[in-house]
Each structure stands twice: as structure tokens, then as C-alpha cells.
Homo-oligomer: A and B are copies of this chain.
Amino acid sequence: MDDIDRMLVGLLQEDATRSYAALGQAVGLSSGAAHERVRKLRERGVIRRTTIEVDQEALGRAVTAYVLVDGGSWMGDAGAALAAIPEVEEAHVIAGPASVLLKVRTAGTRELQDVLRRVFQVDGVTGTRTIVALETLFERTLK
């Protein structure tokens, strides 16, 4: 995990369609060496996978909301129960004004209401507070 590895990760975050030849040239290595480094970054799990970034609105996901979830008994795997709700994009156990914070994306407010109902049915949940995003200023990948 040296500076060259960090450069390769940065370049691939910007555009993962770059060829190994171009990557190598950018960091001062042959295509073979660049290929080998990227292979190892994948192997070690630094690079999890290569994906596409999708415009969620174009796919009918117009509403973004954050949900603060209250409740005490997080010993049972609430994680799995929350993961079973397809509209939940993230779930974090938090320090602060609630137990868990969710990021949720739905087609509309009606569907959001439905997701909240399902969250409420998860074991140990005693309440939810929802924060709706009116406008997303930006969502980006770091560095």
C-alpha cells in the first residue's frame, strides 16, 4: 500500500474503464506491473469490485430520506432484518440521538411510508424519525 497503489486506486475511482497500459503510463510502470498491482489490491479487498454509478432518479428513485431508528435490543441481528428491506441503502449503529441511522431511497412518499412501516416491525424498534432530502447538493466518491 504505497503511493503508487494509492494513485492507481484514485485513477480507477475516476474511471474504471482505463486500460492497464494507460494506468501504467500514469504511474510510471509497464502495463504488466500495473495489472499485477491492481490484481493484488482486489485480492486484499482494498478494491471490493468494479461497478457503475447510476442516476437514481432516472431509475425511478426520486425520494432520498434518512431515518433515525430508536430501540434498545440490538443483540438479535437487526442488521439482517434491515438488509431485507430493499430500499434501505445504508444502516449504521450510531452514537447520539438514536440507535441506528438508515439511508433510504424510494420512488415517492407513499413508498417511503411503506418502508417506515416495515422498519417499525423489526424486532426492538420503538420509534422512527424521518429526515427527507429536499435537494441533494452532491453525492460523490472521496479523493
Contact = CB atoms under 8 A, between A and B. Distances in A.
Contact of A133 (B9, B14, B92, B131): B92
Oligomer copy total: 2
Interface of A: 1, 6, 9, 12-17, 44-56, 58-59, 61, 64, 66, 78-79, 82-83, 86-87, 89-97, 100-101, 105, 129-143
A87 B142 contact: yes
Nearest to A136: B92
Contacts of A130: 96
Given A101-B66, A133-B101, A56 B142 contact: yes
A50 B50 contact: yes
Given A12-B51, A51-B52, A87-B142, 8 more contacts: A12-B52, A13-B52, A48-B54, A66-B66, A86-B143, A91-B138, A96-B132, A101-B131
